[in-house]
């Protein structure tokens, strides 16, 4: 299904309520417009660091939780209520669209995604079919309900990027070295290209479903792409991520692109077409500014491990992130990667308030 601009539902756009949604600090920062305060959200803000999340998830498998609109909505709202973050991120997982097209996979606690039959040849790749909106009705339903509940607070939709999805599919699970992935990429470029084409189409459709239901920004997670050299990224990954960003351009929804260990790749992640580049904690934001395209906002980048240090250290490091971010045109405060499961929720709550106070104009 191709959704043109005109075909896009008006929920949250062009209606009276949309004036404040479109004027929210988060969307304004993504668009590099002046903000009343630096907006804050946290990657993996919904999840195991929250006792109310653990309670709700008792006896419910991760992928089952991701297919129940009532659970999706409640878990998405939990960090919004507790932390007062400037944006909600849809509760799901990057593996959900793969599961929805019939890939036999599970998400195991403490391990991550595990794929029963890893993808290794063309026949395996050809079994991967396209995603249709009807494959994920629970996503459409949950996003629609959340957008109504969130009002002028933006909902961020997301998907895994083709490389990171390919790595899980080919390795069969989490991987430190991505050796089978690289073996396929180097040794069977035609199979690689076909796999990346199919994953790009799946990712685009998963994002379009969320946008059509009212998500007002999207983040493409290429979490493990830092395993690649810039040359390999440019030749074997960038074209597919760029294809996705290009097709999202007409939706007027800010596009965020994030990966871990991507210091050497920031320029290319930006070149792929993002409006906002997410930076991990290894590259100071004032240096990151010099690596991305002009007219690109930055998101990041406090080291999530810093939240385990005394508050005075958290405050000092946060001040440093904010000071360096002044070099950027637009800044969305976030961690340099996801919230670690044993993080104290009280520290995250205090951090949101701290960033808001320090940056209030």
Report if residue 296 touches ligand CP3, rule: CB under 6 A: no
Identify the residue among 11, 13, 44, 350 touching ligand CP3 (CB under 6 A). Answer: 44
Position among 48, 82, 197, 350 found at the interface with ligand CP3 (CB under 6 A): 48
Q: Is 223 a residue that touches ligand CP3 (CB under 6 A)?
A: yes
The single residue of 31, 44, 287, 350 carrying the catalytic annotation is 44
Instruction: Quote the least distance from Cβ 83 to ligand CP3, whole Å.
Output: 11
Question: In the range 133-162, which residues lie near ligand CP3 by CB under 6 A?
Answer: 158
Least distance to ligand CP3 from the beta carbon of 94, Å? 4
| The residue count for the chain | 361
Under DSSP, is residue 265 helix (H, G, I), strand (E, B) or coil?
A: helix
217 annotated to bind ligand: no
Rg over CA atoms, the chain:
19
347 contacts: CB under 8 Å, gap ≥ 6? 307, 311, 314
Q: Which of 8, 28, 32, 57 is catalytic?
A: 57
C-beta of 264: minimal distance to ligand CP3 in Å? Answer: 18
Smallest Cα–Cα separation from 199: which of 296, 328, 103? 103
45 in a known ligand binding site? yes
Q: Is 272 annotated as a binding residue?
A: no
Residues whose CB is less than 8 angstroms from the CB of residue 45 and which lie 6 or more positions away in sequence, other chains included: 79, 83, 85, 89, 339, 348
Q: Reply yes or no on whether 48 is catalytic.
A: yes
127 labeled part of a ligand binding site: no
The answer to whether residue 83 is catalytic is no
Pair of tokens at residue 97: 């669209």
Nearer to ligand CP3, 60 or 323 (CB): 60
Q: Does 67 bind ligand CP3 (CB under 6 A)?
A: no
**156 touches 219 (CB < 8 A):** yes
Buried (b) or exposed (e) across 145-184, using 16+ Cβ within 10 A?
bbbeebeebbbbbbbbbbbbbbbbbbbbbebeebebbbeb
| Residue with smaller CB distance to ligand CP3, 88 or 191 | 88
Out of 139, 338, 351, 356, which residue is the one contacting ligand CP3 (CB under 6 A)?
A: 338
Helix axes 179-187, 189-212, angle to 10 degrees: 110
- Other C-beta atoms within 10 Å of 218: how many? 26
Provide the 3-class DSSP secondary structure of residue 92: coil
Closer residue to ligand CP3 (CB): 8 or 100? 100
Give residues with Cβ within 8 angstroms of 80, minimum separation 6: 88, 150, 153
- Rounded to an integer, what distance in angstroms lies between the CA atom of residue 192 and that of residue 176? 20
Catalytic, 152? Answer no
- Closest distance of CB 41 from ligand CP3, Å: 9
Minimal distance in Å, beta carbon 97 to ligand CP3?
12
Q: Residue 88, interface with ligand CP3 (CB under 6 A)?
A: no
**Which residues form the interface with ligand CP3 (CB under 6 A)?**
43-48, 57, 62, 89, 91, 93-94, 107, 109-110, 112-113, 158, 221, 223, 338
Could you tell me which residues are annotated as the binding site? 44-48, 93, 168, 223, 337
Catalytic residues, which ones? 44, 48, 57, 93, 168
């Amino acid at each position: 299904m191709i959704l043109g601009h005109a075909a896009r539902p008006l929920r949250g756009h062009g209606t009276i309520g949309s004036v404040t949604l479109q004027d929210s600090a988060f969307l304004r920062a993504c668009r590099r417009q002046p903000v009343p305060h630096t907006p804050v959200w946290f990657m993996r803000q919904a999840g195991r660091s929250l006792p109310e999340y653990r309670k709700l998830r008792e006896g419910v498998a991760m992928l089952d939780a991701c297919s129940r609109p009532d659970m999706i909505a409640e878990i998405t709202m939990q960090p919004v209520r507790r932390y007062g973050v400037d944006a909600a991120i849809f509760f799901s997982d990057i593996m959900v669209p793969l599961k929805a097209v019939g890939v036999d996979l599970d998400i195991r606690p403490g391990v991550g995604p595990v794929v029963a039959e890893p993808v290794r040849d063309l026949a395996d790749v050809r079994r991967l079919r396209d995603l249709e909106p009807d494959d994920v009705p629970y996503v459409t339903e949950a996003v629609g309900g959340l957008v109504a509940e969130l009002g002028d607070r933006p909902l961020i939709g997301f998907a895994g990027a083709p490389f990171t999805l390919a790595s899980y599919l080919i390795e069969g699970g989490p991987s430190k070295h991505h050796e089978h992935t690289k073996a396929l990429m180097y040794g069977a470029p035609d199979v690689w290209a076909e796999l990346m084409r199919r994953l790009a189409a799946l990712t685009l459709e998963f994002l379009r479903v969320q946008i059509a239901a009212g998500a007002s920004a999207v983040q493409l997670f290429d979490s493990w792409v830092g395993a690649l050299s810039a040359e390999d990224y440019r030749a074997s990954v960038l074209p597919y991520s760029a294809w996705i960003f290009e097709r999202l351009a007409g939706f007027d929804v800010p596009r965020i692109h994030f990966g871990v260990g991507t210091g050497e790749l920031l320029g290319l992640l930006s070149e792929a077409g993002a409006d906002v580049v997410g930076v991990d904690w290894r590259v100071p934001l004032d240096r990151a500014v010099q690596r991305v395209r002009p007219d690109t906002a930055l998101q990041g980048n406090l080291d999530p491990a810093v939240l385990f240090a005394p508050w005075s250290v958290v405050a000092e490091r946060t001040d440093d992130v904010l000071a360096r971010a002044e070099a950027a045109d637009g800044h969305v405060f976030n961690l340099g990667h996801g919230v670690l499961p044993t993080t104290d929720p009280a520290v995250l709550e205090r951090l949101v308030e701290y960033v808001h106070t320090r940056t209030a104009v």
